[in-house]
Structure 1
Amino acid sequence: MSNEISLQETIGKGYAEFWRFRGRYRVVKGGRGSKKSVTSAYWIIYNMMKMPLANTLVLRKTFNTHKDSTWAQLKWAAHRLKVSHLWQFKKSPLEAIYKPTGQKILFRGLDDPMSITSITVDNGFLCWAWFEEAYQILNEDDFDKVDMSIRGELPEGYFKQLTLSFNPWNEKHWLKKRFFDVSNPNVLAITTNYRCNEFLGEDDRALFKWMKEHKPKRHRVEGDGDWGIAEGAIYENWREEDFNWKTISKQSGYRAVFGLDFGYTNDPSALVCALANKEAKKLYIFDEHYEHGMQNDDIAQMIKSKGYAKERIIADSSEPKSIDEIRGYGIGRIRAADKGPDSVKNGIQFIQQYEIIVHKFNCPNVAIELSSYVWEQNKAGKFMNKPIDDFNHTLDALRYAMEQIRKPATFEF
């Protein structure tokens, strides 16, 4: 490097093991202010300059979030390491090029899977990938596809590695089971928090101290970096149980309801099957289907194979053509949801009145989404009366299903 700097003084302490690890999977969850993203960016810039045949792929769930996050973070890291004159950060296409060698940092989103599977580099090898905000990857298969694309022989001294960084989220996420609940020399899974960030100001530390005293649940997640949702969960009155839904369906007051949310490439198609008791305010969710890339005939066949072809199924009304096609494939009682003004808010408020019991083994994606569906926050951190547009595929299907209970007259057919 043209200007000598102290790497330790620039990067700080707390990430020595992370920095030195050469195994395939390097996973770090951390609370706010834990330096996880900053350190990942430093590592990529520094090590690409050190290893002239290495290229890096940076991924987020959606491509358009890169420019203001990972791309900006890497550009800032190059500046802090005093090497920005050696790098070109391009906006179109979004990439970073190390000028002396032509090595590249490529940016992709899981919303365009073809752009990932077809990656080639002009110089050297694709050695490293960085998944930022990895908790947003609900489908483990999406991660596996990228994992498989980082392959092939490398020259001596080079290594393949995938780095995943994320804020701690609910412990039902596949990330915990895959990386944190295993003992594998090829996996480094660590938890960091603000205490290892010596660059925080006293006002920042005072904020965490206040949070610990006044909002301990939030501090456990955002401060300590533990698993869980800090605040703002939309559905709180729910649990998992192993139950016999056929027995419950015979009890007085229960009615079976079915909802379908459409997806394809970026989002899954989601079917939710439940038993609702309007008087007792109890809701048993007993079955689900959650799959990407389903054509309408696939959806119809799935419904038939589960034995629900003759049931009333309320589907996302934004795709009337899909509903007509599925009806044509023999699902005769499928109908469009009656969305209308404030339908999301009203549907949520109705379901919030219910005690929700999720089948412990049949409905893993419902459980994940119930654990992760939260209210949006504004820049000041205040919760708004609007849910995030994520972790909501089975829960949108549930809202559609429950319209039969909330507004029965609309669906008398």
Structure 2
Amino acid sequence: MDYISNILFAVALLAGVGFFVMNVRKLIRNIKLGREVDRSDNKSARWKNMARVALGQSKMVSRPIAGILHIIVYIGFIIINIEVLEIIIDGLFGTHRVFQPLLGDGVYGFLIGTFEVLALLVFVSVIVFWLRRNVIRLKRFLNKEMKGWPKNDGNFILYFEMVLMSLFIVMNATDPSFQEAGIGNPISQFVAPWFSGLSVDTIHLIERSAWWVHILGILVFLNYLYYSKHLHILLAFPNTYYANLNPKGQFTNLESVTNEVKMMMDPDADPYAMPAEGAEEEVPEKFGASDVMDLNRVQLLNAYTCTECGRCTSACPANLTGKELSPRGIMMKTRDRLEEVGKNIDKNGEFKDDQKQLLNDYITPEELWACTSCNACVEECPVNIDPLSIIMDMRRYLVMEQSAAPQELNMMMTNVENNGAMWQYSPMDRLNWKDE
């Protein structure tokens, strides 16, 4: 009968990993719907940025309690799952704790003991996170965009982690040979007595059940990531690598605008020139962004990487003064629209116009114009997401494609065009103040 369980394990493993790979391919396809952007410069700084921010969690600890707890969960969960390698080998070949004789009791006991301590620390940290969300109810977890699925998603992942850590301890506690060896059981030795009154067969059934549910839970968790904000576990690394290294507040010039200006300054250029015979007439490039396909690939990667932690929104001066803008909401809406576009492609084989776009259907002009472009959201984000770049690209579209800027801004731009300054008086009067 052992070979049947081995086959079932192999099927579950292939199904779990296969579905994960399918979703990763879909994720990459969706991100590639955006415009290409060159972020190949200064590779050494990019690697350092990734090591410091994604791996080292340097921006998390700006809020010490949440930061330290997050580091415990992050390190604990990653290190504990090293044991998955042993589980996979045992599951495929019918062995039991295959690494114990290979590594020796000393090394193996140290590793498993470390895993158990980390499992307890992760469990306690997750309990604190749950209390912060559901009992203390921190304000940044209560914004209007955190209703329904986003709120439930945050709790689901905490329950996942509680169950997985508990199963790991129970699995060790109900393994008689492991407990008798007295190695690597600093936590499970205190749980083992809970099962002392049960028969050997019952204890073995509990151990096998915990083992199976633990590994199946990990496979479910792996595939749950695509549908969850917890994609940042994987995407934080490329996101921080491809982050904008320019000083905050330095905006890029639109290539389309630059080309227009160059043509205006070229005395030999003919703006009315017709395309050569047989050549296709070029469609003018859109100024700014009105939908996700107009954004660049790093911005779409940002949307999928968003942790929904709300640090950006809690630091946003517009949001703090009651405006509609929530930088977290901007990223969540961008991701929702991108997912909708992806489903459209899945259904039709290509994108079919659905009479929707990111602007207006998801993000309103009121939100965009509430932004003060102060970069507080960019500074606060623990994984270097840049909501401001999306806001500015959509503002560019409103101004340059729809002439839909607020009246005050239109007046200012008119004054700049006519007077060379923001103020509504002649340039000849600029120095009148010195005569007063």
Fold shared by both chains (TM-score > 0.5):
no
Q: Calculate the TM-score normalised by the size of structure 2.
A: 0.23
Which one has the bigger strand percentage?
1
- Structure 1 or 2: more helix by fraction: 2
State the structure with bigger RCO (CA 8 A, min sep 6), 1 or 2.
2
